[in-house]
């Protein structure tokens, strides 16, 4: 319940900030173009707070925080007194109307730059993209790894951390080949001379990537370097079978059913194979060995199979300093990095839309408000810099979605206005009405698919 409320609260805050930025873009440009704004609302439905400003605009916070709007004076909607007609939206030139409508998505892109700017000023702890093995029968099987190797670029794009590697790989979904460059590490963790880097061309014609099951990195067969897992328990779920049997954080695993503990993966395999079957786990606590009888509860695995689970997780050795990375820049440099990162997010997002249209990416990858709420809660839980990164990502996606040429969205209005620029006359209202109905139906269908995907992931 606490997690639900945290996710919900984080979602409402994030959405409120992004909607405010989007609608303020419309509001600011409309005012500069001489349009009278009657209402600036964050949310829909009944108002929970309202205030009329000195500018005559009614500012509103409404109960349903799933959108917002800027109500402008418009003769197509209401009767407008003669003395105010020059302030009506419909009386403005087509280029002014284009500027007002385009300002919303543009404000989302600008907000992303600001959020990332602050994030890079604060500094983002990160991990260098180092792999220590590749899997057989995978696109990466051709790469022979004898020592940890650093990924320095994907398709010619330099990468510094795993987030950048992920974005670069996702943007290549559907391509027959993906080029990655690997460099050996010095003891300092820095790559050696770039001439020593090796470029590999991965055959991805049969690459299958299911984001619900694994990352694009692991689906290619690249094994991420991780510090050694220790046999000391770092987490014991209060509701799990382990806690019920008396296991505690800090216990050291010694044996399972008399077989000495060797590796965490072997321990997990034993537990998974023992759903509803008691096992005897030997642990060491405060210098004393204890034997505890634990009966793993059952759950469905990724393939629908029944597997055992006891609700524990191990501790991990510290990351080597050479693998750590602090993405932190100065007052001026942060702005350039933020602009470049925002452009990357915009480019990847447009590529993903294109791949959805061509079928290279399944509609199963669409996410709705539930997934966004979970992402908001998780990022807020990790701290301010991660929440800022999440806000930037969602802001870019909100801006791009609104640019789609669906008549009910900003992009649809822009489409009509550009047709007006070309033809010299407005699109007939009957045609616009048909378009709005079609756009609403399409948007409802996309939202339904996204919600279905959200519920299927729960």
Q: Which residues are catalytic?
A: 23
Tokens of 54: 């000195």
Of 26, 323, 14, residue with least CA distance to 160 = 323
Would you say 108 and 26 are in contact if contact means Cβ atoms under 8 Å apart?
no
d(CA 289, CA 304) in angstroms, rounded, equals: 36
Beta bridge partners of 158: 153
d(CA 216, CA 291) in angstroms, rounded, equals: 41
Beta bridge partners of 324: 127
Contacts of 433 (CB under 8 A, 6+ apart): none
d(CA 380, CA 383) in angstroms, rounded, equals: 5
Tokens of 347: 């480019």
Would you say 407 and 439 are in contact if contact means Cβ atoms under 8 Å apart?
yes
d(CA 353, CA 342) in angstroms, rounded, equals: 17
Secondary structure in 3-state letters for 216-275:
HHHHCCEEECCCCEEEEEEEECCCCHHHHHCCCCCCEEEEECCEECCCHHHHHHHHHCCC
d(CA 443, CA 458) in angstroms, rounded, equals: 23
**CB contact burial 12-36 (16+ within 10 A = b; e otherwise):** eebbebbbbbbbbbbbebbbebebb
Angle made by CA atoms 271, 276, 281, in degrees to the nearest 5: 45
d(CA 235, CA 228) in angstroms, rounded, equals: 16
CA distances from 5 to 43, 66, 322, 373, 377 (A): 19, 17, 38, 10, 9
Would you say 234 and 313 are in contact if contact means Cβ atoms under 8 Å apart?
yes
Tokens of 431: 């045609």
3-state secondary structure of 223: strand
d(CA 424, CA 42) in angstroms, rounded, equals: 35
Half-sphere exposure of 66 (CA within 13 A, CB side): 9
Tokens of 314: 């191990």
CA end-to-end distance (rounded Å), the chain: 15
Of 193, 173, 168, 172, residue with least CA distance to 183 = 193
Instruction: Report phi then psi at 266, rounded to 5.
Output: -65, -40
């Amino acid at each position: 319940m606490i997690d639900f409320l945290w996710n919900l609260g984080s979602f409402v805050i994030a959405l409120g900030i992004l909607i405010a930025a989007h609608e303020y873009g419309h509001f600011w440009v409309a005012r500069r173009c001489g349009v009278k704004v009657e209402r600036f609302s964050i949310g829909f439905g009944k108002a929970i707070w309202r205030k009329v400003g000195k500018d005559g605009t009614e500012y509103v916070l409404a109960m349903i925080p799933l959108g917002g709007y800027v109500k402008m004076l418009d003769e197509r909607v209401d009767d407008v007194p003669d003395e105010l007609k020059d302030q009506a939206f419909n009386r403005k030139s087509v280029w002014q109307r284009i500027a007002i409508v385009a300002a919303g998505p543009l404000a989302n892109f600008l907000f992303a730059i600001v959020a990332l700017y602050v994030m890079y000023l604060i500094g983002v702890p990160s991990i260098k993209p180092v792999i220590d093995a590749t899997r057989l029968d995978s696109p990466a099987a051709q790469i022979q790894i004898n020592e940890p190797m650093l990924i320095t670029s994907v398709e010619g794009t330099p990468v510094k951390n795993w987030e950048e590697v992920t974005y670069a790989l996702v943007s290549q979904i559907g391509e027959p080949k993906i080029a990655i460059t690997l460099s050996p590490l010095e003891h300092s963790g820095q790559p050696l001379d770039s001439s020593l880097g090796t470029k590999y061309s991965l055959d991805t014609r049969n690459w299958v990537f299911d984001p619900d099951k694994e990352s694009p990195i692991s689906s290619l067969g690249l094994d991420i370097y991780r510090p050694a897992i220790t046999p000391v328990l770092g987490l014991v779920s209060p509701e799990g079978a382990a806690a019920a049997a008396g296991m505690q954080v800090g216990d050291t695993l010694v044996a399972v059913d008399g077989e000495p503990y060797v590796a965490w993966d072997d321990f997990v395999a034993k537990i998974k194979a023992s759903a509803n079957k008691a096992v005897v786990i030997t642990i060491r606590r405060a210098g004393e060995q204890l034997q505890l009888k634990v009966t793993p509860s059952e759950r469905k695995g990724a393939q629908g199979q029944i597997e055992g689970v006891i609700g524990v997780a191990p501790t991990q050795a510290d990351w080597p300093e050479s693998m750590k990375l602090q993405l932190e820049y100065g007052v001026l440099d942060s702005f350039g990095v933020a602009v470049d990162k925002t452009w990357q997010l915009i480019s990847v997002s447009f590529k993903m839309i294109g791949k959805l249209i061509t079928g290279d990416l399944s509609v199963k990858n669409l996410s709705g408000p539930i997934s966004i709420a979970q992402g908001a809660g998780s990022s807020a839980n990790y701290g301010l810099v991660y929440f800022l990164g999440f806000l930037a990502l969602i802001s870019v996606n909100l801006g791009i979605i609104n640019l789609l040429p669906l008549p009910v969205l900003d992009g649809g209005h822009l489409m009509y206005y550009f047709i007006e620029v070309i033809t010299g006359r407005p699109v007939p209202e009957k045609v616009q009405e048909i378009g709005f109905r079609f756009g609403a139906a399409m948007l409802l269908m996309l939202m339904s698919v996204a919600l279905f995907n959200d519920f299927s992931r729960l």
